[in-house]
């Protein structure tokens, strides 16, 4: 039981940290990209190409628009 608990916590922490580091802004921007980021991290091929494309384009698009919308409301 101890091993199972310890293993689960390790996996959970490791996954959360990975998503948080690479997709922290992404998660805050949109919940849909959370799944996308997780999949990108799995594929080393798409990680730099796909992430770099959406990182600046998508983040820059929603960052000011989305934040400004929910801020006052």
This model's pTM is above 0.75: no
Give domain limits for the chain: 2-70
Tell me the pLDDT tens digit for each residue of 12-37.
Answer: 444 444 444 444 444 444 444 444 44
* Mean model confidence pLDDT for the chain: 47
Residue 19, pLDDT score: 45
- Three-state SS for the chain is CHHHHHHHHHHHHHHHHHHHHHHHHHHHHCCHHHHHHHHHHHCCCHHHHHHHHHHHHHHHHHHHHHHHHHCCC
Residue 72, pLDDT score: 54
């Amino acid at each position: 039981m101890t091993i199972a608990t310890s293993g689960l916590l390790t996996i959970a922490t490791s996954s959360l940290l990975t998503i948080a580091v690479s997709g922290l802004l992404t998660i805050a921007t949109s919940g849909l990209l959370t799944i996308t980021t997780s999949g990108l991290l799995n594929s080393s091929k798409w990680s730099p190409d796909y992430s770099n494309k959406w990182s600046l384009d998508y983040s820059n698009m929603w960052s000011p628009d989305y934040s400004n919308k929910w801020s006052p409301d």
